[in-house]
Every structure is written in C-alpha cells, then in structure tokens.
Amino acid sequence: ERRKREREMSAVLLLLASLLFQLVAAEVVSCPDQQSYCNCSSTASVCEFILRIEYRHTFTSYKLFGSNNQQSFDGEGYFLNRSGYIPTVQQDGDCNFDDPRTRPFTGSDFTRRGCSVPMTVDGVNYRAIIAINGQIPGPTLVVTSGQTVHIRVVNSLVSQSVSIHWHGLFQKDTPWMDGVGFVSHPPIDPGSSFDYIFTAGQSGTYWYHSHVGSERADGLFGGLVLRDPDTFFEQVVRPQILPEDSSSILVDSPELHTITVIDWMREHPNDMFVKMNDSLFFFPDAPVSTVPDRSNTPHEESDLIDGTGTSAVPYWSGLINGRGRFDSNTLAPLSVFSVESNRYYRFRLVGSNAMLAFNFSIDGHTLRAIASDGSYYQPRDVEYIVIHSGERYDFILNTTNPNRGQTNFWIRAETLVDTSPRQSVLAVLSYTNGNDLDWRNGYSNIPDARPTCTSASPCRVLNCPFQQYPAGSALTCISLMNLSSLFPPPTNKLPKFPPSSSCPDCIHFLNFGFDGPRDDSFINGKSLQLPNTAYATNCAQYTSSKSIINTCDRCTVNTTSGCRCIHVIPIANAATFDPNSDEHESIIMIFSSLNSPDTHPIHLHGHNFQILYTGYGTYDSNGKVTSPSTDLVCDTVGNNICVTPRWANGTPPAGLMARVSNGRVIGSAISKDTVMVPGYGYVVIALQADNPGYWFLHCHIEFHQALGMAAIVQEYDPLQHKAPPPNINNHGSFQWSVEEFKQFQDDGSTCADSIASTGGAPTTGGISLSQTKFGVMIGVIVLLFIVVVVMAIVSCAYFVYRRKVTTRHERFR
Ligand SMILES: [Cu+2]
C-alpha cells in the first residue's frame, strides 16, 4: 500500500518536473538529414535549429554518418542513372538494393540502409546543388508566434560565403539578424557558422533563403511557418475563414502542406549570371544578353499572355518541393501531398521562383485564399492564384466533395508565357497516400481535371500581373485591391496620404527596369553596388570621415550610362524615432516599371506595407499592353534611362485618392511584404516608419537583384539604429546564446550610445555585454527556478496529503 503510494508520488513528481522543464526550456529541434520539416513544439520558449549548408549532386545517394544518420559524409556517394537506378558498377554494401535494376527508389529503402534518398530534381539535370540538411528545398521550419528562435547556420560550402534572410520577418530591434550579406552582417565564410537569434513576433507563412549572389536559384531556401497561438486561431481567425462550417475538421499541418515552387536552371546560376552581367554576345548579330536556349540557338524573349516581356533566361524546368519533370515525358518522381476526405486543409504556397511568375491551381478543387505574406484578408474562392518570387499565399482546400470521381489530382504551377501547351510544373494531390501512384509510368492514371471556365461562369484568378485577360478567355482577374483586410490596423497605425509635408524623404518614386545601351538593371538609373562593410553591424562608420554611405550622391546619371553605386534611400532621416509612440512617420513609395513591359516582384525588408493602389498601362482589344500608364511621367536621360518618375499632372490619380479616407490609407487595404509591379504599370505602397535600421529593397527576380535592381533603405538616422552585438563582424564563426541575446536586448543600446561609450573611437562592432547585469540576470533565473521547484514540491506534497486523508476516510467508512 505504502510502496504503491510512493510510486504514485514519484510518478506525479516526474510528470510535473517534465512539464515544468518543457515550459521553461529551450527545445533542440530535431532536423535530421532529408527530413522535410523541423517542428518546434508550441510549449517551448526557445526553439533551436541547425541548418547545415553543403554541396550535393543530383542523382546521387550519400552514405550517412553521425548519430541517427544525421549527417552526410562528403565525398562518399553513388551516382544513379537517369531512370533512377544505381548502375551495377557502383553497388556497395551500404547503399545497395536487393536488385537495383528492378527496384525504384521510394525513400524508405535508402534511409533503412543509412543512405540519403537521391534527389532527381527535374529528372534530367546532372548538376551540383546547394542543399540544406541534405535536401532542396531545405526543411520547413515550424515555430509558434512569440517563440525565440535560435538558428545556427553552418556553411560547409568550400568556395562560397552564404547568409540566410528570414523573408517577411520584421526583425524589430534586431536589424543585424536580417541576413542580407554585406548589408545586415558580413556573409558567413566557408567553414564558419553564424547564430541567428530573434523573436518570432509575427504569424503566418514566411520563408528563408540565401541573400548572397544567386545561391537561392541553386536550392538554398526553405519554408518558415509561424503558427498563430491555438486559441487565437480557433476563436478569432477560424470563424472568419470557415464561417459556414464550424464543426468540421480544419487540418493545419505546415510540415506536410507547405508548397514551394521554383523555375529551375540547366546550368549553375553563376554561369547564367556571368552571361547576363557581361551582356555577352554568344551568337553573331544577337541582341545583348542573348543566351542559348535548350536547342543551342539564341533564346528569343517570349511574350507573356498580355504581351509583356519575360526574362532573357530561357525556361528550362520547374520544381515543386524539389521535384519536377523536364518536359512532360520525363520519368521522375514528383512531390505528393496527401489529404483525406471530409476535411478542410490549410495549404501554404511559397513563391520561391527564380525568374518567372506561376499561375497555381489544383485540378478538381477550388482554392479559398485567406492570407498573403502573413496577413489575413476576407476569404476569396478562386480557381487560380498567380504567385511571383517572394510572395506567399495561404489557402483552404475543401475535401468534402463526395463526387470527386478520382483519387489523385494534378497540382499545377504554370508560367504565364504565351505557349501551348503552357510551361508547367506538376505535383500530385492524393486521397490515397499515393499508394495507387507509380512514377515509372509517368503517373499515367491521373486524369486531366482542370477547372472548367466558360464565359457564363468565368474562372477567377487572384493577383494577375496585368489588368485583365484578353476578352473571351473566360478568366476574371481579382486584383489585390479587391481584397479586404481581415484585421485592419487601428486608425493611428494607418499611414497618412500624403505623408507629412515636413518630411522631405517620406515619399519616393522608384522606377525599376533595364535601361540604357547595356540594358543595365536599374532603380532610377542606379545599379546597386554592395558595400564592403555591412552597414547594420558597423556603428563606427558614422563618425569616421572615411565613411561611405551613399556613393550615388557623387554620381550623375549621364547620357551614356547609369551609375553603379551604393544606393542608399533615406526615409524619416530627419525625424526622431520614439519607440514608445503609437504613431510614426508615414512613408509612401511608388514602384513603377515604365520603360520596359516587365513585371517586377518588389520586396521590402523590415516591414510589410499596405497596398494603396495599382495602376496599369494601356491595353489593346486583344488584351496586349501597348504603352505605359499615363498617370506617371519620367524624365529620361541618354538612352532611355528613367531617372525621375513622378505624377504626370503633379497630383495622384483619382483612383488612388478613392483609397484614401480622412487623410489616411483605408483600413481595408491589405498588407504584404512583396508585391508585383505590372509591366508598364505601377504600385503605390504605404507604411509607418516604426523600425529603424538598414533594409534591403529589391526586385525578387534572382538575376534582376543580383545585377543591381536593389537599394538600401536607411530608416531614421543610423545613430538611432540598434547597436550590433559584439564580435558580429569578426571573421570566422559568430556564436552566442539566447541568454546573451536577451541580455543584450535588455541593454538596448543604439549606435549613438555605443559611440558615446567608446568616446567616439571607431570600433568594429557594437558595445560589449555588461558583466554585472549578466550576473544579476543569471541570479534571477536561478532564483526563479528555485521558486518554481519549491512550488512544485509543495503542490505534490499537498496532493499526497489529500490522497492520504481520502484513503483514511475510506478506511473509516
Ligand atoms: Cu525584376
């Protein structure tokens, strides 16, 4: 009897202790080689991840080492042939199959033998890729809003530096954690590691990717999901997005239902970059920037549906979650997303596109679009969602239709290039866990079940990059301006339009395009040259006479060419930032694409912004764009280089003013962090300057950005920026703990403080941690821990005492 009670008591103690441990502890999240997600439990206060970045090769199985086969060993791999089998000559005791010529690789066969599953990628292309934890894309990181995230990025590349940008996260008070190489912090050298630590204060669908060169196009990216706290989602969000069916099951499994899509290149992106950057003439008499297409003839720029141009890079293939097929007849495994009947599923679509926009759809299903770039809007049922590089769309998929008639459906991402058939990336939605699918027969049992679009009942397309489809196409465009924010900001957070007249740098007209005789990649005739010191980590430069901040000031766009310079755009530079104020300086930016009919997805770091207005060019009766919007004009110099875009009549158009109420942007205007600027059109965005720092602003098309279509936004005077942590500028690894991070944040020094504390002497980093404060903090933590333990013991004792009393009562009864 007594032993039983003792056992019970120790069990209770154990349970309590483990609960407490979970509540206060950091969780080291398991991210083994090739697991497609890393999930941090919602009870942890800190989530720790390790991302290992290394070269891998397609069609290769790697021998895995380390505990639980978590790491690959460089240099020991086994090539497969293109049909997906290991050639006999390369069989080995570890990575062998029973009979490699008859067994397809399914995954489990490899991992059981301690070998990685070969990545076939597009089924044809033998080339090196940049893998994160053994795969492209990298694992989807799943955390809960409010958690502190500690991600150690280990650069195991031999010859490249990297950095990781957490796309869409504001990095408030941590601007040096934004991961733009040469802007936020120095890139991570080969062989070194870097500890990103920040608070995941937002919620929604985000992603991470390299921000050095064009590494993203090599596969260096992955999903990043910040879940809403459960109660907020259930009580506030769900009734708004599923109002008609409150009892049915809504499945939100970001680890299974996050979809990334990318157009994939035959050659290494550096190869393509060099061709474009040098405007190489590959063929006699070819126009500049001409590159060979797949039949080795000069690539002609092909037109989009609306007559606007596409990139100079020929389309090769595309991938959904790292898998695709070069041309439709290639045999290769595709990504399969499993669902069950009678559920609602939240899918998260990530635009990891390299160059081209995609039109996304799922055969036999309507998509209920509910959020973009981390902000909810009133749900809209659509058949298609257009997604460009950097954008994210969340949608609900309804699987309750009993008459669906088939078990597997095509998931499609098609480019907007005007070809027949369309350039198409495929994946599979399966109601059977993919059990009745066979990649070796090319999934021939999946019928075509595209949505039926008629003029009487046209299909709906969310986020067209043009005003409308040609007449007779039975497709209706839903502009982002037609969406209505689900949680409008309070009035004082709505940006003012026009912004304050006392703030000269609060409105900016920025034209994105390829101008001049060399077709250079410009913003207002300026092509970004990256600084050689990361601005966000170097307070000292502001006091140094040799400081280089905005070299474009010294450069005049002349008649023959633009400028290649460090293009800094100050916003709210003369204002004083008050962190305790509810309202901040309003900023308006007009992004245009006036000189060439190219669509550019523009991304601003450190913020999201409200979409105030979208303006389009002029279209002919066939739906082709013929001339730029007449709302704007641009003074050009030399060979058609646009340098000073502005309102044509000196005043904004009436359509824009209809979206302004009482001098502020209307609350229903949705918020995003990446927006498509239509060819020959423009977009007006608005935000409040509440985040001092250096923030990258750029076209998210990989090569447009790498070629210079980017600028550095300097928000407030740099002396008001948060000082960087010590040692962040050092060569070699930058490592620190969450405790050090929190202590550093509590100190809260600005660059001005930092410079004052060092007497104005130049330093390479920021300020150093206060040892005493650190000691006090450790003391407080230990004290708190003791209090918690004592409380646990007391409650246990009380529990046991109650049991004893009850038992005694029972005995007396
Ligand atoms: Cu662009």
Query: Between these two residues, 40 and 62, which has the higher pLDDT value?
Result: 40
Position 351 scores a pLDDT of: 98
Does residue 793 have a pLDDT over 60? yes
CATH topology agreement for domains 24-94+120-227 and 491-720: yes
Q: Residue type for 657, please? A: M
SS3 category, 133? coil
Tokens representing residue 358 in the block: 């995609």
Structure confidence at residue 517 as a pLDDT band (50, 70, 90): confident
Q: What spacing in Å lies between the alpha carbon of 641 and ligand 1's midpoint?
A: 16
Cα(600) to ligand 1 centroid in Å equals: 4
Span 208-224, mean pLDDT?
95
Contact of 221 with 352, CB cutoff 8 Å: yes
Compute, in angstroms, the gap from residue 703 CA to the centroid of ligand 1.
8
Across the range 788-794, mean pLDDT stands at 71
Give pLDDT, residue 103: 42
d(CA 242, CA 765): 50
Q: In terms of Cα–Cα distance, which of 674, 672, 670, 671 is closest to 700?
A: 674
* Over residues 580-584, mean pLDDT: 94
What percent of the chain has pLDDT above 90?
A: 57
Instruction: Return the top range by mean pLDDT from 58-67, 183-192, 234-243, 516-525.
Output: 183-192
Q: If you measure from the C-alpha of residue 525 to the centroid of ligand 1, how many angstroms do you get, rounded to a whole number?
A: 14
pLDDT recorded at residue 255: 96
Residue 609 C-alpha to ligand 1 middle, in angstroms?
Answer: 19
Backbone angles phi, psi at 455, to 5 degrees: -65, -30
Distance (angstroms) between ligand 1 centre and the Cα of 570 equals: 22
Q: How far is the CA of 720 from the centre of ligand 1 (A)?
A: 32
Q: How many CB atoms lie within 10 A of CB 730?
A: 12
Q: Please tell me the distance between residue 428's alpha carbon and the centre of ligand 1 in angstroms.
A: 30
Q: What is the mean pLDDT of residues 605-625?
A: 94
Q: Which CATH number fits domain 491-720: 3.10.129.10, 2.120.10.30, 3.90.1720.10, 2.60.40.420?
A: 2.60.40.420
Please state, in angstroms and rounded to a whole number, the distance separating the CA atoms of residues 753 and 760: 10
What is the pLDDT at residue 481? 97
Ligand 1 mean position, distance from CA 348 (Å):
24
State how far the alpha carbon of 231 is from the alpha carbons of 228, 234, 236, 237, 238, in Å.
Answer: 8, 5, 8, 9, 10
The alpha carbon of 765 is separated from its chain's Cα centroid by a whole number of angstroms, namely 28
Question: Helix or strand or coil: residue 812?
Answer: helix
User: Which residues does residue 734 pair with via DSSP β-bridges, in sequence order?
Assistant: 194
What is the CATH number that goes with domain 24-94+120-227?
A: 2.60.40.420
Q: Which amino acid is at 543?
A: T
Please tell me what DSSP assigns to residue 690.
-
Cα–Cα nearest to 324, from 388, 407, 261? 261
The rounded Å distance from CA 146 to ligand 1 centre is 33
761, burial (CB in 10 Å: exposed 0-12, middle 13-18, buried 19+):
exposed
Three-state SS at 239: helix
Q: Tell me the per-residue pLDDT of 470-505, one tens digit each, with 9 for 90 and over.
A: 888 899 999 999 999 999 999 999 999 999 989 989
Check residue 728 and give its pLDDT.
Answer: 93
Q: Is the Cβ–Cβ distance between 417 and 304 less than 8 Å?
A: yes
Could you tell me the two tokens for 510?
């920025």
Q: Would you state the pLDDT for residue 700?
A: 97
**Statement: residue 34 has pLDDT above 70:** yes
Q: Find the helix or strand (DSSP H, E) in which 808 lies.
A: helix 771-812
> What pLDDT band is residue 225 in, cutting at 50, 70 and 90?
very high
Please state the three-class secondary structure of 362-411 as a single string: ECCCCEEEEEECCEEEEEEEECEEEECCCCEEEEEEECCCCCCCCCEEEE
Secondary structure class of 613 (helix, strand, coil): strand
Q: Mean pLDDT across the stretch 429-452?
A: 88
Dist. CA 507 → ligand 1 center (Å)? 21
Which amino acid appears at position 336 of this protein?
Answer: V
What's the whole-number mean pLDDT along residues 382-387?
98
What is the structure's pLDDT at 444? Answer: 87
> 640: which 2 tokens?
């058609």
Residue 703 has pLDDT above 80, yes or no: yes
Look over the chain and give the mean of its residue pLDDT values, rounded to a whole number.
Answer: 85
Mean pLDDT across 665-680: 97
What is the whole-number distance in angstroms between the Cα of residue 45 and the centre of ligand 1? 39
772 pLDDT band, cuts 50/70/90, is very low
Q: Which of 237-246, 278-287, 298-307 has the lowest mean pLDDT?
A: 278-287
| Residue 645 contacts residue 651 (beta carbons within 8 Å) | no
pLDDT above 50: residue 282: no
| Ligand 1: centre distance to CA 513 (Å) | 7
- Banded pLDDT at 405 (limits 50, 70, 90): confident
Give me ligand 1 centre to Cα 416, in Å: 15
Alpha carbon 588 to its chain's center: 23
Q: At which residue do the structure tokens 């100079």 appear?
A: 312
State yes or no: pLDDT of 291 exceeds 90: no
Q: Where are the domains of the chain?
A: 24-94+120-227, 241-266+317-482, 274-315, 491-720, 770-813
Distance in Å, CA 301 to ligand 1 centroid: 15
What pLDDT shows up at residue 245? 73
**CA of residue 601 to ligand 1 center, whole Å:** 6
106-110, 196-200, 241-245, 278-282 — most confident range: 196-200
Residue 786: pLDDT band (50, 70, 90) is low
What pLDDT, on the 0 to 100 scale, is given for residue 761?
43
Pick the CATH number of 241-266+317-482 from 3.20.20.140, 3.40.50.2300, 1.10.260.40, 2.60.40.420: 2.60.40.420
The mean pLDDT of 523-539, rounded to a whole number, is 90
What residues contact 2, with CB distance under 8 A and at least 6 apart?
none
Q: How far is the CA of 669 from the centre of ligand 1 (A)?
A: 24
pLDDT band at 593 (very low <50, low <70, confident <90, very high): very high
Share of the chain above pLDDT 70, in %: 79
| Average pLDDT of the segment spanning 569-583 | 94
d(CA 106, CA 33): 16
CA of 599 relative to ligand 1 center, distance in Å = 7
What does the pLDDT read at residue 283? 44
Neighbours of 248 (CB within 10 A): 13
Please report, as a single letter, which amino acid is at residue 721.
Answer: H
Would you state the pLDDT for residue 720? Answer: 94
Cα-to-centroid distance, 671 and ligand 1 (Å)? 21
Position 42 confidence tier, pLDDT thresholds 50, 70, 90: very high
Helix axes 771-812, 2-24, angle to 10 degrees: 150
* Ligand 1 mean position, distance from CA 521 (Å): 8
Tokens 């940008």 -> residue: 165
Phi-psi region of 516 (alpha: psi -120 to 50; beta: other; left: phi over 0): left
Ligand 1 centre to CA of 709 (Å) is 7
Strand ranges, E, within 531-608: 563-565, 568-571, 586-592, 600-604
What is the arithmetic mean of pLDDT over 703-719?
A: 93
Q: How far is the CA of 656 from the centre of ligand 1 (A)?
A: 24
DSSP-derived 3-state class of residue 415? strand
Query: How big is the chain, counted in residues?
Result: 813
Name the packing angle between helices 738-747 and 771-812 (round to 10°): 120
Give the model's confidence band at 436: pLDDT under 50 very low, under 70 low, under 90 confident, else very high. confident
Query: Looking at the predicted structure, is the pLDDT value of residue 70 above 90?
Result: no
Range of lowest pLDDT (229-238, 364-373, 672-681): 229-238
CA 522–ligand 1 middle distance (angstroms): 9
pLDDT at 560: 61
Distance between start and end Cα atoms, the chain: 18
Q: What is the DSSP string of 78-125?
A: EE--TTS---GGG--TTT--S-TTT----SHHHHHTTBPPP--TTSS-
Tell me: cis bond preceding 137? Omega within 30 of 0 counts: yes
Alpha carbon of 597 to ligand 1 centroid (Å):
11
Query: Residue 348: is its pLDDT beyond 90?
Result: yes
Q: How far is the CA of 700 from the centre of ligand 1 (A)?
A: 6
Interval between CA 677 and ligand 1 midpoint (Å): 9
225 contacts 315 by C-beta, under 8 angstroms: no
